[in-house]
Amino acid sequence: MHNYYDKSARHFVNALKNAKESFKIEVSNYTLNVVLEDGTKYKFIKEAKHQNFFIAMKKVEKDVTFAVNELGFSDHLKDESIKPKFYSSCYQIAPFSAKKIFNIDLNSAYPTALFQLGLLSQETMDYLMTINKIDRLAAVGCLAKNKNIYTYQFGELQEVDNEKSEFVNIWRLMVNLVDSLLQDLVAIDPDNFVFYWVDGIFFKEKPDFKTLEQMDYLIKECGFAYKNENIRNFELRRVSDKIIVNFDKGSRKIEQCFTDPHFVGLRNYMTKYLM
């Protein structure tokens, strides 16, 4: 409930608890539903979305459903070994800072990955390109929908369940296709590599012409488009088991924080063998 800023939702739920009612709360990415014992449902919106988002989401779900049912993607739905990966850093050079750094940013990386996997039609891909970036990402992200369900009996919380989208592994495949491309770019110029996050990769300095040519060929061969962006005041540092990255992108100041996999791996090793 704390993520839902609509006071009416909080007041409604509190009133039900105080009245010792039995009900369920369904919390997803964008909505909170309160379902009464007689099946009556009250819906509260966490974040207002444009109609284009809902159209795009339905198109994506329709295409993926077709691919799963008709094109042989159903096996991936059961593969629990697929783990999404969003980032990597050059362990040896953290901390690192630079006034200016070279960045390659993939355009519409996740929709493009779905399209290259054969999970989106050209019509849906074209439509996604007409809506704003936030709605486009949200529409694709709905493949990994996550719903928490809180069951109350006579005003008291009795059970908490979680429902994941049946397409969560499709979403993981999409994420890992982008990650694989970024890892291949690292392999082309490993000594120059600093960090990548989701769909953007950073190098200490602009690669030479031949190296850039290799990267350009690889990206386009994989069916992606990209741009180079002006990144300034880049700083990468470690705080305990976290890596924190700050930089200026145009007029925006950006901070990213994530768990350092190398640090965690070392900690796990020490815990297992040395303690």
Neighbouring C-beta atoms of residue 125, cutoff 10 Å: 17
Task: Please state the rounded mean pLDDT for residues 44-73.
Answer: 85
Q: What is the pLDDT of residue 120?
A: 94
The pLDDT of residue 92 is 59
Is 197's pLDDT higher than 90?
no
pLDDT of residue 269: 38
Q: Enumerate the domain spans of the chain.
A: 7-50+145-164, 51-140+168-273
Q: For 40-61, what is the mean pLDDT?
A: 86
Give CATH for domain 51-140+168-273. 3.90.1600
pLDDT at 89 over 50: yes
- Asked if residue 95 has pLDDT above 70, the reply is yes
Question: Binning pLDDT at 50, 70 and 90, where does residue 201 land?
Answer: very high
Q: How confident is the model at residue 181, as a pLDDT?
A: 94
CA distances from 186 to 4, 147, 195, 202 (A): 40, 36, 9, 9
Question: Amino acid identity, residue 196?
Answer: Y
Residue 261 — pLDDT band, cuts 50, 70, 90?
low
Going by pLDDT thresholds of 50, 70 and 90, the confidence category of residue 275 is: very low
Measured in whole angstroms, how far is the alpha carbon of residue 80 from the centre of its chain? 18
**pLDDT reported for residue 271:** 40
pLDDT recorded at residue 127: 97
The pLDDT of residue 94: 67
Predicted TM-score (pTM) of this structure: 0.78
Residue 224 has pLDDT above 60, yes or no: yes
Asked which of 40-54, 184-198, 223-237 is least confident by mean pLDDT, the reply is 40-54
